[in-house]
Every structure is written in C-alpha cells, then in structure tokens.
Chains A and B, each alone.
Chain A
Amino acid sequence: MSRSRKPAKDLSRREFVHVTAVASAALALPGAPALLGRADTLRIGLIGCGGRGTGAAKDCLTSSEREDTTGGLKAKIRVDDAHAFAGFDAYQKVIASKVDVVLLATPPAFRPRHLAAAIEAGKHVFMEKPVAVDPVGVRSVMASSDRAAQRGLAIVAGTQRRHDAGYQAAMQRIHNGAIGDIVAAQVYWNQGGLWMKPRQPDWSDVEWQIRNWLYFTWLSGDHIVEQHIHNIDVANWALGAHPVKAIGVGGRQWRTDPAYGHIYDHFAIDFEYPNGVHALSMCRQIDGTASRVAERLVGTRGTSDAHSVITGAAPWSWDAQTPRTNPYVQEHADLIASIRAGKPLNEGRQVAETTLSAIMGREAAYTGKEITWDELLNAEQDLVPADVKFGPMPVAPVAMPGQTVLARSWRSA
C-alpha cells in the first residue's frame, strides 16, 4: 500500500474557477529563466473548465511547483473576474489575456479552431485528446502544428501514455528489438456506459448536445475516437506508423435511447499497417459486459502489454516498487521543461495522426467500406458547424453501414 507518489496540494474547485464555461488562470513560477524575452513567469490560460479541464490545470500547476515556492498552490492561482470568461468566443479572450500557455480542454469539436487561434497568437499549448472529430479538423491541426514548429511553440497532447514511465520503458525496449519485428497487435477499450445528463426543458438543442457531448459525433468523434484513441495511439507508437487502411463493424445495440444521441456503443476494427501488419481494435461501452482496457503487441521474438511486461526472448517486467510519476502531471512537466529549455516539444502531428487513425476505424464501421489513409486524409468530411451557438440543431441519424458516406457535412445534416 505504499505507492510513492508526491501528493498534490489540496485545492477546492471553487477556489480555482468560479465560471463553469471558460476561464483563464494566471500562474507565477518563481526562479525560472527568462522565456522568449518575458519575465521568469509562465502564465497559464485554461479553455474549458469542466472536470477534465480543471484537473489539467491543477496537474499543470502541480507539475511545475518549485521547492522554494511559498504559500503552496493556492497562492499561485490568481483568477480575478476580469479574467474569467464564458461563451463561445471566450477562448479568444483567454488567449488575449497575456498568457504564455493555454490548456485546451473543451469538447473535441472545438479543438482545431482553438489550437489555430492559440498558435496564431504565439501561445504554447497543452491540448486534450482527441484533437479533432473529422478530416477537416485533422488537417487544420496538422497545419497548426507545422506553424507551431516554425514559430518555436510547444504542443503537448493528452495522450498521457506517451509520458508514462512504464510505457516509455517498455517501448524503448520494443523499439530496440526486445520482441523482434512486430507482426500483430490487439488493442481494447471495453467498459460499461458513461454518464448522461437528462435534458432539461430550458436547454436548447445545442446546449443539450454540448452538455452530453460524448454522445454526438460532431462533438466527441464517437467513443472510438474519444476514448479508444489511447490504445490506438499505443499501436501507432509501437509500430512507428499509422494504419494504411481499415475495415470494421460496429453498431448501436444497447444504448439506443435518444438521450444518448446517435453514437455507436461498440466497434471492432481491423487496422492494416505498412508491411501487412494487422492490429485488431475493439471498443465497447455496454453495461454488464466484460471490461478490458489494454494493449498487446506480438513480435517475432516475444509479446508485450506495452507498459509492464515483455515475454519471450528478452523478458522484462516493470519493478512495481519503482516510483512512477503521475503521467497526467508528467505531460505538463515535460511541456513546461521543453519551453524553459528552448526546445519546445511538438506532438501536434503525432496526435493528429492518431486522431485520424481512430476516425478511420469509426468511418470503416459507419460506412461499411474499406477506408484508406489517403482517402480519409483528403476527405471532405466537415461535421462541426462553422458558427456554433445555442439554438436549434437536429440530431444526425445513426450511421448506417452501406448507406452513410464518408464525405458529409454539418451543412447537409
């Protein structure tokens, strides 16, 4: 029962943000070297103040806490009313608030436009996964990532397995040949259902959908993109590639009530990678079914769970007694350290490719067609309205294999 992790300072949510939509928090980090000509202070803006965004902000502050900081975390958070904003344009106000780093944690639909605005304004970015819900969004994120690279700006994504010491240790060995050539992979995120907020009479269509963003493809990308992306990312990481094509099945069998929007509740996808390597992907959100959240890599000389065990010719296992930093904190520590070192991390293209990989699986199931990378990357699929505002919005029909087409837009919904 002795897990050696550094405990976070206690902090109530109320003390951190008092607006539920969008707020900016300013953070002073004493004793740091000058940054991009600024003083030794990094100011952090938070865009998206739900449970995950608030958690990300807290993890960001915890990640960079210095030993000489007095007053603890509470003293470092200064959000006055003039820097707390609400509304669909609040992200612009946060970005304009003289912050250095922005944390993007709204529902994924808004990520591409928020990222573009942040990079254009010269901000470093942490962004939650997934980073888009459709190919138009993925292309935007790729362009923003390239722009960030040109401008020396950092982008770190919330695919936190990439910042987990166990995954890093296993993956380093795998990339050095510990299991030989990878010939197959299996990745899973099977679990029960998630939360749903019953519609209230005073909610418009758009407000209801955003409050239940998981259940609308235009907002979340569907659960294969929103949740299973973590496991697909591990396959991409291990193989050093993205899939070239996919076929798949999926459906909406149990979670059929309109309160759950129009997303599927299960997918099974066959991803094909370069050199004929296949990865089985399976994800499900159905109560009372077997849960499994895991990855398995099969090589010519062994197998691995990608984070704690390698079997075969070069066996290895993670020593459970080794202190392991919280990857949700480490991802912020890595971001901040890279900014301070003047060597900004840029995970933008990597996470954009993983997002598109997950979208490939979704579209293989939705359309019933074989989906190739090039076809998908260039597809005219644009699911997010250009100008989202509270008001009427019909729910797109549940995707039907053989009928749903890849090229589709919010305009035709």
Chain B
Amino acid sequence: MHIAGKISLLLLVQNAPPPPPNRDSIPGTLVRFETVPVPAGPVTVPTSRGPRSVAVGPFAIGRTEVTWDDYDVWAFRLDLTPQERSSGVDATARPSRPYGAPDRGFGHHGYPALAMTYFAAQAYCAWLSTKTGKRYRLPTDAEWTRAVLLGLGGDSALTPERRDALGWHAGNAAAKAHAVAAKAADALGLHDMLGNVAEWVTGMDSGRGGVVRGGSWVDRPEHVGPNARARQTPAWNETDPQFPKSRWWLADAPFVGFRIVREP
C-alpha cells in the first residue's frame, strides 16, 4: 500500500463513526431513548489529595439529557393503568406533585427535565431499571468526566466559538433551558454535556450527596466546561414555602437535570 493509502486508512480510523447507540424504551409507552457506549479507560479526577487517575470500566451514557417525555412517565405515573393509578398501589417511589409549572414555561416535549433533587434523579434511575429490566443509574463523576473528555477529543480547550457550538450558557441561552440536541453532537455523539442543564452525577465522595457537572444556561460562559462542578446550596430550594421542603423538587434550581448511565 502506498503512502497516500496509509494516510487515508489512518484518517478513516480516526474519523470512525462512534459506535451505534443502544436503543431502549419505556414499556407500555411510546417513549424511546438512547445510550452511547463509552470504552473503558483511565480518567483523572480531583481529590482532596490532588488529582488522581482512576480506571473506569465500560458503560453507556445517555445521548441526551433525560427529557420531560421520559420523566413525565415516572412522575405522573403514565405507565400505570387508570385502575392502577386509583388503587394507589405502586411498587416504586414517585415524586410528589409538582407545585406550579415544573418546566418553568421553557418548553416541554423534547426539553430536559429539570429542577429535580439528586434523590429524585436517583429514584428515576431505579424505577427505569425496574421497568426495563436493565441496569440504569446516574453516572459517577469519573464516568461523566471520561465521557465529556472523549467527546471533546484530544483537545478539551474551549474557544468561545466551540463552546457556543456545543452548549447553552448565559451568553447564548436567552435565559432559558433549550430542547435537547439542538446543539451539535460531540465526538461520541453526545449532546449538551456542556451547559443547558447541569447534570447530577454520583459524587466523588459518596455520602455527601450529588454533584452537578458541566454548567448550565444560567452560568457565564467561562463557568461552562468539562471541569465545571457544583454542589447544591440552600438557595437551590429556598422559595419552597413549605416546611419541611420538598425532597423531590428544587424550587429555585431550574438549571439542574441529569442523564442516565446504562451498565453493560
């Protein structure tokens, strides 16, 4: 094979299309969703004793953030028959009734579910696992990091143009969350890892609750990126006027959502 052929083969390998996503559905509904395989490998995570390399096994991650189309089925018991709904018998924990408009008027069909607590995001995954017979859960912080870095390719630096192409942030979102996958896919085929809604992941130090990653539509551009992390503060649920406050919904965090991971 002459040199040009070798180069074109190399390019072909480098530009190989990402592996096909897994397609799944919520039984009893028309809701479909996809997860994208992520190969095993090392990832560097911050720890209290400085950066540390950890090995991440293979997993698949949601192609998009979980949308209201998915979340409504669980939150509003749309997978149950009217008889099952009125009987009050239900095998899984479900959220309390949201007060007001849960989507904040941003949009519903195709928009990311938002303002749920870490507890609720985990409970959704548990329900989805029961419902589908597969193993779904939140990404770990390390898994999310590996996915976002693979998605960005070898260069994780973000020029303003690249950030704009990939994510919704305070500089381009017009003060709202947007429909998922309106921005370009990354090299893995994932949408909205950066911005739109910040995404719950299992914290690095389990026991302290979740962390949200990636930044969101309320964050200034420089705070949206592969290293962005935030923990819940009291301000995220301050104006829930009830006491005790909801354990399912965050009255003041319409910038928080999540995506799922499927175990192999």
**How far does the Cβ of A164 sit from chain B's closest Cβ, in whole Å?**
9
B218 touches A (CB below 8 Å):
yes
- Would B100 and A291 count as touching, CB distance under 8 A? yes
A contact residues, total (Cβ < 8 Å): 38
Known: A1-B216, A58-B243, A287-B76. A191 touches B238 (CB 8 A): no
Given contacts A56-B241, A291-B103, contact A1 B72 (CB under 8 A): no
- Is B31 at the interface (CB under 8 A from chain A)? no
The stretch among A174-182, A320-328, A337-345 that forms the contact with chain B is A320-328
Name the distance in Å between A1's Cβ and chain B's nearest Cβ: 4
A3-11, A18-26, A63-71 - the one binding chain B: A3-11
**A1 x B230 contact (CB < 8 A):** yes
Contact residues on B (Cβ < 8 Å of other chain), bracket: 35 or more
Q: Bound state CA distance, A1 and B218, in angstroms?
A: 7
Q: Are A290 and B108 in contact (CB under 8 A)?
A: yes
B97 touches A292 (CB 8 A): no
Interface residues of A in 277-298 (CB under 8 A from B): 287-288, 290-294
Q: Determine which of B234, B239, B241 lies in contact with A7 in the assembled complex, contact meaning CB atoms within 8 Å.
A: B234
Q: Are A291 and B101 in contact (CB under 8 A)?
A: yes
A7 CA to B245 CA, complexed, in Å: 14
User: Does A52 count as interface, using CB distance less than 8 angstroms?
Assistant: yes
- Contact of A145 with B by CB under 8 A: no
CB distance from B171 to the nearest CB of A (A): 12
A51 contacts the other chain (CB 8 A): yes
B175 within 8 A of A: yes
Give Cα A16–Cα B244 distance, bound, in whole angstroms.
11
Closest residue on chain A to residue B229 by CB atoms: A1
- A:117-166 near B, CB below 8 Å: 160
Q: Tell whether A13 is near chain B: CB-to-CB under 8 Å.
A: yes
B105 touches A5 (CB 8 A): no
Q: How far is the CA of A127 from the CA of B158 in the complex (A)?
A: 52
Is A54 located at the chain interface by the 8 A CB criterion? Answer: yes
| Given A190-B101, A191-B101, A192-B76, A3 contacting B252 (CB threshold 8 A) | yes
A392: min CB distance to chain B, Å: 25
A257 to B96, CA, bound (A): 19
Chain B residues in 8 Å Cβ range of A3: 233, 235-236, 238, 252
User: For the complex, is A363 an interface residue (Cβ under 8 Å from B)?
Assistant: no
Instruction: Evaluate contact between A328 and B241: CB separation under 8 angstroms.
Output: yes
Q: Contacting B235 at CB < 8 Å: which of A7, A257, A294, A327?
A: A7
- Rounded to whole Å, the gap between the CB of B170 and the closest CB of chain A is 8
CB atoms of B76 and A51 under 8 A apart: no
Which chain B residues border A87 with CB–CB below 8 Å?
none
> Are B242 and A51 interface neighbours, CB within 8 A?
yes
Complex Cα gap A12–B245 (Å):
11
Given contacts A57-B243, A195-B96, 18 further A-B contacts (CB under 8 A): A1-B216, A1-B218, A1-B255, A3-B235, A7-B234, A8-B234, A52-B241, A52-B242, A54-B243, A58-B243, A59-B241, A192-B76, A192-B98, A291-B102, A293-B100, A294-B105, A320-B170, A320-B175
Name A residues whose Cβ lies closer than 8 Å to a Cβ of B. 1, 3-5, 7-8, 12-13, 16, 51-52, 54-59, 160, 189-195, 198, 257, 287-288, 290-294, 320, 326-328
